[in-house]
A and B are shown apart, each in its own frame.
Chain A
Amino acid sequence: MDQVTWIEILSRHRDVAHRVRVAGAEVHIGRGYDNDVVIDDAYVAPRHARVFRDETGRLVAEDLGSLNGLFLDRDKTKLARIVIDGERPIRIGHTFVRIRDASHMVPPERAGQPAGAKILPIALAAALIVLEALSAWLGETGEPKASNYLFPLLSVAAVVIVWVGVWALLSRVISGVAHFERNLLIALAAILGFSVFNEFAQFSAFALTWRIPTSYGYVAMWCILAVACFFHLRELGRSRLPVKAVAVAGLAALAIAIQTLAQSEAFHDSGRQNTAQRLLPPALRLAPVRDETTFFGEIEQLKSRLDRDRSDVRADDPAR
């Protein structure tokens, strides 16, 4: 008999926890020690299933009359027999078992990372440092102090290291590999993205008199954070990516909604939009210069807005 069957017991994250090579036409799986593959799962019968080849040579799993039965992957229907395709595992009790034979095709060898790839995180970190330092320098109006530059850098570095460390640790625990470098890359790209967005928002608020990016900067922040989290989660394991994407997007949407509510309540309390003015050199102006008629036309429109506010607050106040 040269028929070889590989029985793989999977972890919850579908990594192989245990792999058994069985030679022979039939494989018995169960909790009892008279099986070829023994599974320590209280919900598995002593003799739970057998795997054999049918007339056409396909691998087939068959229930041996267990109480809890046999399932394909996460399906809810109990099956007496399952034809094995080598990709979807079967479920016995609470355990996922993947069955493959020796002829199972594996993907071709992946090319090793070129030595230059390590330059990317360094380049990103350097870009980030340059951008932050430049922004601090251009905003400096008092006495120049080294600590004004070093301390923010230190805080950003600490946050990045802790953040990446936590993801690497999770990744190590769950998938067995830390992927520190890739997690670092994701974090740096996210921070750099946010810094660039911030600078753009400041620029557009002045040069284009377009204030939406500054007013809604928090939306961009949550979106960037969500995208970063999605990529971090992808590093933990590539299974069920759509579920992860939806979960992350949902959380981001919730965060944006809560912050929008908080901002609108803060506006209601203070009556002042918390958007700080930041001027830039006159040479950077892109927006056209208005003449008096246009400008004061806009001011007239502001009046109807104010009067609407007034009738709204008076409508809310039954005492008047």
Chain B
Amino acid sequence: MPHSLLKLVRTTGRAWLLAGVLLAVLASGAAQSAPGEPPASASRAAERIFADATPRLLQIRTLLVGAGRQSSTGSGFLVSANGLAITNYHVVSQVALEPKSYRLEYLAVDGGRGDVELLAIDLPNDLAVVRLDRRAAPFFAISDAARDLPKGERLYSLGNPLDLGFTITEGTYNGQVERSYSERIHFTGALNPGMSGGPAVTADGLVVGVNVAKRSGGELVSFLVPGRFAAALLRRVQDEKIEPQPDFRAEIGRQLGAWQAKLYRSLADDGFRAVTLGPYQAPEATAPWFTCWAQTNAGAIPKPRASVDTTNCRSDTGLFVAGDLSTGAILLSHAYARTVDLNQFQFATFLSQQAQARPVGGGAYRKWYTPQRCHEDFLTTSAGHDRPTLRVIWCAQAYREFAGLYDVAVIAVTEDKGSEALVSRATLQAVGYDDAVAFSKRFLQAVQWTR
């Protein structure tokens, strides 16, 4: 199930106008409520928090340099007295990747606007630190603690959804997202496009998370980046006195590479567990951040002439790099096929359909990848006498922008019987070459007979 990121792309002029009207109303409402007043009820608390947040809350807009119009909008919040603010990496990704075509602008609740400079990014945690010309304005404190709030604690998320105006939305803290490689807070509340990068605060105004994504196909299932990652990035900017860079591509490649190397190290430490499929054993990742589904064609009409039982495992490790490139996922699948009434040639043709190479990449080929190169051969892994011979197709393509990263697909078909076979497939996005080779070796070695 894909996550949809909360950045608003393409809005109509009418929506923008509406936002202007709404903004005025909210601003006057904010003026009436005095900050610091004890909350009489949950909604009174929301009123107070919004009023408090008003001078610290921002809309971060990505403008097309040529047209001066917005290309996408997100949210952000001030975190220091010298104009540093936090937002999502995916809100500023166009500027990070194409600084010649895009620039950033902020819009404050009071209507003030100005230029925004991109200082630092944290690609794996989808965070960015920007600097703007609002000095001596009040700012948010970020919770640096890894401490767990109790499940059910009320959180308030702020931002500018759909470019309609600044809003506050109430929701519930629901702990860490299980089955996610990167730490994310499960927030049950309505996050909408445009709120990306906005803060999620407790009743006492402390930022515990940054709005980042919601689950498409779910209701109110939303995700926050834990505040301590934002605090760490901010600390790095302040300690190292980071100044704006002209181009973040190299930095993006470096962060992606380092993150993926760590991911494959942890994958190697966790190892595989064997699942039994017919007479074969196939490797399945033990890491908790894999979600596996199984399916069969047994009930299909017309009656299938070969039975196939498939398991698909997908890691929740996808990273947003650009609007047209999400990468970092790992897919492992096994299909155990057995003939019903196909002869050996027909069954082999059937297997060919199961073993076709499929596109691997998470983005547009011409923009992000070099051409795919494949190698194909018969292989027997070490101690081959108790393992079936495999026909292996190994395909890889390099990333144009990110040195040392490749997308790799390995497909192995067992070649021991003419009437049944295991088709195993591993798809690795944005992986170092040595990691990919080591992973493939272990993956192929784990295809065995059950004896």
Contacts and interface: CB of A to CB of B under 8 A. Distances in A.
Contacts of B417: 282
Say what secondary structure dominates the interface of chain B: mixed
A115 B305 CA distance: 48
Given A141-B350, A271-B366, A271-B369, A279 B355 contact: yes
A111 interface: no
Given A277-B393, A306-B373, A310-B398, A290 B379 contact: yes
Interface residues of B, number: 58
B377 A271 contact: no
Interface stretch (B16-24, B259-267, B381-389): B381-389
Contacts of B416: 282
Nearest to A135: B345
Contacts of A313: 370, 400
Contacts of A291: 379-380, 382, 384
Contact of A292 (B343, B370, B382, B433): B382
Contacts of B69: none
A204 B377 CA distance: 12
Given A141-B305, A277-B393, A282-B416, A292 B371 contact: no
Interface string A249-279: 0000000000000000001111111001111
A277 B302 contact: no
Interface in B339-380: 342-353, 355-357, 359, 365-366, 369-380
B415 interface: yes
Nearest to B303: A143
Interface residues on A, range: 35 or more
Interface in B434-451: 437, 440-441
A306 B398 contact: yes
A281 B345 contact: yes
Contacts of A310: 370, 398-400, 403
A295 B392 contact: yes
Contacts of A307: 398
A267 B373 CA distance: 11
A307 B398 CA distance: 7
A298 B373 CA distance: 12
B336 interface: no
Contact of B365 (A271, A283, A285): A271
B421 to A, nearest CB: 8
B173 interface: no
A141 B339 CA distance: 10
Interface in A131-145: 137-143
20 contacts: A138-B346, A141-B350, A143-B305, A211-B376, A269-B366, A270-B365, A271-B366, A271-B371, A273-B374, A283-B344, A285-B415, A288-B378, A289-B380, A289-B389, A292-B382, A295-B392, A296-B437, A302-B396, A310-B399, A312-B370
Interface of A: 137-143, 209, 211, 267-273, 276-283, 285, 287-292, 295-296, 298-300, 302-303, 305-307, 309-310, 312-314, 317, 320
Given A271-B366, A271-B369, A300-B437, 9 more contacts: A139-B349, A140-B349, A272-B371, A277-B356, A277-B376, A282-B415, A291-B379, A292-B441, A299-B437
The 8 closest A-B pairs by CB, nearest first: A138-B345, A281-B344, A309-B370, A271-B371, A282-B415, A141-B350, A306-B398, A281-B418
